Amino acid sequence: MSAFALFVITDEVAMKVNEGSCKQMHVHLHQALPSLQEIFCDPNNVITVNNTPFRGLAFFVKSRVPMWEHPSVAEGCDVVWGGGLMSANVLAKCVAFLMAYVASTDGCCGFRLINKNRQGMGMTKIEVWFDTVAAAKRQQTLLKSEMQKCTGLASVANQFSRITTHRSKLQRCR
């Protein structure tokens, strides 16, 4: 049984809130954290953690940290989708699918679901992280197809097209 970690993401840091099996993390997500509706579906709602805005959730293989500058993921990349606010029902389907996808896909090390709400303009960003660019390229078509089946939204699947390496993000920051 693989071990996973669940994180909350603020503007400054990703904080681990629990670790265990995929099933344990799914239960913890729904019992101990604010609802997906509260976090992602209300453009006017700002939840805080230690007085810092709560920006999202991350689910990762236990040995990885969901911060692209961290050495455990520095050689990897992510496949990104960004779009308008989704309903809580669609978000719940995305989260359940992505947790199972990470748990069962070689080369996939996690995902981040981020509320990019700024000045009342709601936006949700989904990043699926891979250990290597080759793994991301191998999985990209399947990921698009499965996200469309899972959500029923072609717009979600069709926008999983950009692969960004973490090394390129580091270089832009220097």
DSSP code per residue over 110-125: EEEEEE--BTTB--EE
What average pLDDT score do residues 19-48 get?
A: 70
Question: In this structure, are residues 108 and 128 in contact, taking their beta carbons and an 8 Å threshold?
Answer: yes
Q: Are 123 and 82 in contact (CB under 8 A)?
A: yes
pLDDT in tens, 63-108: 888 887 778 787 888 887 777 667 777 778 888 888 888 989 888 9
Q: How much is the pLDDT for 1?
A: 46
Q: Are 98 and 46 in contact (CB under 8 A)?
A: no
pLDDT in tens, 102-118: 989 888 999 988 877 65
> Is the dihedral angle over the CA atoms 120, 68, 143, 29 positive or is it negative?
negative
* Distance from the first to the final alpha carbon of the chain: 39
- Is residue 112 within 8 Å of residue 39, measured between CB atoms? no
Model-level pTM? Answer: 0.81
How big is the CA angle at 10 (ends 4 and 16), to the nearest 5 degrees? Answer: 25
Task: Write out the two tokens for 98.
Answer: 């992505």
pLDDT in tens, 118-156: 555 667 788 888 988 888 888 888 888 887 777 776 666
Q: State the pLDDT at residue 8.
A: 78
Nearest by Cα to 84 from 153, 34, 144: 153
SS3 assignment, position 133: helix
The residues pairing with 33 across neighbouring beta strands, listed in sequence order, are none
- Cα–Cα nearest to 109, from 66, 150, 156, 70: 66
Give the pLDDT score at 168: 63
> What are the φ and ψ backbone dihedral angles of 45, each rounded to 5 degrees?
-90, 130
> Where exactly are the structural domains of the chain?
4-173
CATH superfamily of 4-173: RNA Cap, Translation Initiation Factor Eif4e (3.30.760.10)
